[in-house]
Chains A and B, each alone.
Chain A
Amino acid sequence: MSFIASLRTPRGLITALLLVILAVLPLLTQAFDQRYLLSIGTRIVIWAIAAVSLNMILGYGGLVSFGHAVFFGIGGYAVGILSHHGVASGWIQWPVAIIAATLWAALVGALSLRTRGLYFIMITLAFAQLVFYVGGGLEAYGADDGLNISRSRFPGVIDLRDKASFYWLCFALLCGTLWFCSRFANSRFGLVIRGAKSNDLRMTALGFPVFRYRLAAFTLSGAFGGLAGILLANEGAYISPAMMSWVKSGDLIVIVVLGGMGTLFGPLYGTIAFFVLEESLKPILDLFHKGWGEYWQIVFGPMLVLIALYAKGGIDSLFGSPKEWRRHG
């Protein structure tokens, strides 16, 4: 189905609208003088990159990795530590950060993908905790309190201190990530990963060394997660172990499931819904009773229970069966 034709479906239309709004968001927030919204928008876009990367293994691969926020931390700390030691150039920081995230993903994947089910969930969580504690133990980099850093420098190319420029960079990277994911999902590699989610013994019996492909997917997913970490550190000009707390990993899983696992735009829908819920539950609760807004998670928690129980398919499934994105032949 061509791009133009896909606009006639509700899913295509809504997605296109969403992308257009995101593309011009800095203009909108400037026009309405809502700077705060641009900062939320930036975080949404960064988190969406992380969610898309988690979706590669969780949604398409069926691997419940419960430590994905660790890549926020690794990407962020690589940038922060280099910047702290005077290496300000993004041309050095960013590749180093992505390589660090990739290597860590390869190591964790090699160890954890030997296991199944609950063991896999818990091991990915435990390795993320390991890095979290290491971050909290680094006295030189602020230990638990974290560290203020200066933003990566790309002299003559882009100034990340400019909020709008930074937002557009993040948005462009999100589009790149989504583009890669759309290719990945229907590639030979993607089909092996998705086939292994459906039935990994069958895939092995067909002659696929499933472990290797899963490891590659896990590593790839970590690399994109590291990219999100780089952006997150630059967004707040700050790093701390809290970036990679296990609650953040849980949030990412929530986002992917909420949006629709194994769908291209699901993670984006999920991220937007998550942030909108967070930002709107507070004022809504405050409407009922002043001060209740602070306790928004008491509503959000049970909502997650309900989502887990009844919202199979996530937001994406509201737009009908996704078959218009598939090609037969």
Chain B
Amino acid sequence: MAEPLLSATGLIKRFGGLVATDNVSIDVRPGEIHALIGPNGAGKTTLVSQLTGNLRPDTGTIHFAGRDITHLPMHARVRLGLARSFQITSVLREFTALDNVALAVQAHAGHSFRFLADTRRDESLRAPARRGLEAVGLPARANTPASALSHGEQRQLEIAMALAGDPKLLLLDEPMAGMGVEESQRMIGFLQGLKDRRGMLLIEHDMDAVFQLADRITVLVYGRAIASGTPAEIRANAEVRQAYLGEGDA
């Protein structure tokens, strides 16, 4: 089996008396989709925040692509190829869709201490950005301000931004949230197409999507990983059925 791309070991994060992440270990291998599921308040977002560098774990280590990144700031992790999308749509609303992706491309194109040249005429940024928009199916909306895009389009734009640096690993925080059935299906197809080239950690409430996409699933309840395994193993796991899937899936 391939070396894990991302591996977090023994993460603990406390907020006051609350243990939001209770000794969680999780890994993602290249080319696999590892889904993280759990009821609301299970600590999924806190865990993702530690993986991306938004929060520091109290104890535990995080390795990515063979490096210890536990103490690296967020922007440095992104540079190494660990990209994320946000649960709440997070695009730069004042900028056009193309500007958004071009900025994401720029983030990976060396430093930005360039003060004079017009970036909007910089084909080394604009061309990859246009390709990125095409890949997610938004080429027609290139010059539309992000604030004027529909919710589903903003989610697509967000994925295009996350993909701009050709990341090794994508952390997708509820990419299907707020999408209609049709849009979700398109997104699932799209994510499946990405899978060969990069690992993905998927946080998603839509169980259909999770069981369609995931190679492995980890179940988080009250900050603890109570089970981890293939979709079939998770379906069969009594503890999971009781704690999480409940009678809804029975």
Contacts and interface: CB of A to CB of B under 8 A. Distances in A.
Contact of A328 (B112, B117, B143): B143
A187 B95 contact: no
B21 interface: no
Nearest to B164: A206
Which of B52, B92, B117 gathers the greatest number of chain A CB atoms within 10 Å? B92
A189 B115 contact: yes
A209 B95 CA distance: 20
Nearest to B75: A209
Which of B113, B115, B122, B161 gathers the greatest number of chain A CB atoms within 10 Å? B115
Contact of B121 (A189, A202, A327): A327
Given A191-B103, A206-B78, A213-B112, A329 B120 contact: yes
B32 interface: no
Contacts of B95: 194-195, 198
Contacts of B78: 204-207
Given A204-B75, A327-B118, A189 B161 contact: no
Nearest to B161: A206
A37 interface: no
B74 interface: yes
A195 B104 CA distance: 11
Contacts of A207: 75, 78-79, 107-108, 165
Nearest to B74: A204
Nearest to B79: A207
Nearest to A328: B143
B93 interface: yes
Contacts of B119: 186-188, 190-191
B106 interface: yes
B58 to A, nearest CB: 22
Q: How large is the interface on B (under 10, 10 to 19, 20 to 34, 35 or more residues)?
A: 35 or more
Interface string A162-195: 0000000000000000001001101111111011
Contact of A216 (B113, B117, B126): B113
Which of A183, A184, A187, A206 gathers the greatest number of chain B CB atoms within 10 Å? A206
B211 to A, nearest CB: 28
A199 interface: yes
B73 A209 contact: yes
A204 to B, nearest CB: 5
Contact of B112 (A186, A188, A205): A188
B120 A186 contact: yes
Which of B94, B107, B126, B143 gathers the greatest number of chain A CB atoms within 10 Å? B107
Interface of A: 180, 183-184, 186-192, 194-195, 198-199, 201-210, 213, 216, 326-329
29 contacts: A183-B118, A186-B118, A186-B120, A187-B114, A187-B115, A187-B116, A187-B118, A188-B112, A188-B114, A188-B117, A188-B119, A189-B112, A189-B113, A191-B99, A192-B106, A194-B94, A195-B92, A195-B95, A195-B103, A198-B92, A198-B95, A205-B84, A206-B103, A206-B161, A206-B164, A209-B76, A210-B75, A326-B120, A328-B120
Interface of B: 52, 54, 73-76, 78-79, 83-84, 86, 90-96, 98-99, 103-104, 106-108, 112-122, 126, 143, 161, 164-165
